Amino acid sequence: MVLLLGQSLSLSAKIVGALFLAYTYWKHKREPALYWFLSWVAAASSIFADISRNIYILSLSGAFWATFLFYGTLILLEENEIVSGKIRGWCWKTLSAIPVATSLYGILIGVIGYSSDWFALLGLPYAVSALFIVVSGLMILSAREFYNNKALYLGGILFVYGLHQLDFPILRLVEWFAPIGFALGSIFTVLSAYFMIKFVFAEEFIRVEKPSVEIYFKPGVMIIKPLEYTTIKEKLEKVSALAFVRDLKAPKTWNTFFVSTTEVRNSVSPTNLAFIIDTSVRYLKEAKNKGFGGVIIIDCPEYLKAYNGFESLAKFFASLKDFTISYEGTLILVIEEKAWDERELQILKRILV
């Protein structure tokens, strides 16, 4: 009874997870969501294979589960430039195929009658797949800088889930442990599906949407006064702009980060200029891929200067300008001229305009 309940709960969670991921890919065309969707489909098929006691299908479904999960995670890390896209081109594809290759080898030696050993046919391939789930969890944990607690929760549960799967070759044939193992597996499945759904529906994952209205700004840098900012906000009300602000009264369509020393949701420290650069580059690249020029808004240059000093801030703005122009975007700086001395203001204008 416990075994059947665990299988039912696990299957339901995997199907629900697959459906939400399919919707995310259909709606936002996010490539990691596609491969994670395929991983949950493969994971769901493993339940039917286990019920039918077909060890070949069970081995192969577990292998595809790990392969798609691992490869989708690699794509996620590449998008955030944690791994190199050039490496992904050959090395990562080869690594991703290891669980499937191991499973196929086990199936081959079983079909030709070379071995009937349970460990060779199922135990070892399952352990390899579990190891790739563990590694996928660790890789997602490495993306905490971009996805905060969402990466912590998803990466953490996948890591623990993979460790649990590693005990399968040792304890699966222990009769008294089977119900306990399935119960734990079901709990980890539900948690993995839940945290993955939350992850793919997060603003950081969904990314930018092409504006529903045509807004044209000349690529480069615009320096505006606070009074002009109100007009700009109205003009960009329907645009998925990226904004680093102190004023939280921003349009809902904007991808907004609150610049503050206080750690709150979607906040960034004023000293973390590297994060602002990285996030801006990913946003500009995504916008260009979708056929429009991204718009970045910073309404608090004076606040940034107070924490970083003028020289560091000038270098930061110069780098951000270069990236913005290279991706045909627009950088809008809201500057209160009275807060700057004349020399600083002239240097800024010479660097940026």
Residue 113 is part of a domain; what is its CATH number? 1.20.1070
- Name the residue type at position 332: I
**Domain of residue 298, CATH code:** 3.40.50.300
Domain containing 26 equals 2-206
The burial class, CB within 10 Å (0-12 / 13-18 / 19+), for 63 is: buried
Residues 6+ apart with CB under 8 A from 107: 56, 59, 60, 121
What's the confidence (pLDDT) of residue 164?
Answer: 84
Task: Tell me, yes or no, whether 228 and 194 share the same domain.
Answer: no
What's the confidence (pLDDT) of residue 27?
Answer: 73
Task: Tell me, yes or no, whether 164 and 106 share the same domain.
Answer: yes
Taking 70 as the pLDDT cut, the residues of the chain under it are 1-7, 49-52, 54, 80-92, 111, 113-123, 168-179, 181, 203-216, 265
65 is written with which tokens? 């589960």
In a domain, 214, yes or no: no
Domain edge (last residue) among 144, 178, 206: 206
Residues 6+ apart with CB under 8 A from 262: none
In a domain, 55, yes or no: yes
Task: Tell me, yes or no, whether 189 and 277 share the same domain.
Answer: no
What's the confidence (pLDDT) of residue 154?
Answer: 93
In a domain, 211, yes or no: no
> Buried (b) or exposed (e) across 313-333, using 16+ Cβ within 10 A?
bbebbeebbebbeebebbbbb
pTM of the model: 0.64
Domain edge (last residue) among 206, 238, 265: 206
Alpha carbon distance 294, 255 (integer Å): 11
Confirm if 306 and 336 have CB atoms less than 8 A apart.
no
Task: Tell me, yes or no, whether 13 and 119 share the same domain.
Answer: yes
- Name the residue type at position 8: S
Task: Tell me, yes or no, whether 199 and 245 share the same domain.
Answer: no
- Helix count (H) and strand count (E) of the chain? 17, 6
Task: Tell me, yes or no, whether 130 and 264 share the same domain.
Answer: no
Task: Tell me, yes or no, whether 153 and 280 share the same domain.
Answer: no
Residues 6+ apart with CB under 8 A from 218: 330
Q: Across the chain, what does the average pLDDT equal?
A: 81
In a domain, 212, yes or no: no
Tally of domains within the chain: 2
Q: Taking the CA of residue 276 as centre, how many other CA atoms within 13 Å lie in the half-sphere pointing to its CB? A: 29
Task: Tell me, yes or no, whether 113 and 80 share the same domain.
Answer: yes
| Closest C-alpha among 353, 342, 329, 257 to residue 300 | 257
Domain edge (last residue) among 184, 206, 228: 206
> If you search the block for the tokens 């953490």, which residue do you land on?
156
Task: Tell me, yes or no, whether 200 and 88 share the same domain.
Answer: yes
What's the confidence (pLDDT) of residue 207?
Answer: 60
Residues 6+ apart with CB under 8 A from 290: 208, 209, 210
What's the confidence (pLDDT) of residue 155?
Answer: 93
Task: Tell me, yes or no, whether 193 and 56 share the same domain.
Answer: yes
What's the confidence (pLDDT) of residue 97?
Answer: 84
In a domain, 215, yes or no: no
The burial class, CB within 10 Å (0-12 / 13-18 / 19+), for 221 is: buried
Alpha carbon distance 277, 245 (integer Å): 15
Helical axes 31-52 vs 2-28, angle rounded to 10°: 160
- Name the residue type at position 252: K
Alpha carbon distance 65, 96 (integer Å): 11
Task: Tell me, yes or no, whether 230 and 303 share the same domain.
Answer: yes
Task: Tell me, yes or no, whether 16 and 103 share the same domain.
Answer: yes
> If you search the block for the tokens 């040792």, which residue do you land on?
170
Alpha carbon distance 180, 164 (integer Å): 11
- Name the residue type at position 199: F
Confirm if 188 and 136 have CB atoms less than 8 A apart.
no
H or E, element range at 342: helix 342-352
In a domain, 213, yes or no: no
What's the confidence (pLDDT) of residue 319?
Answer: 93
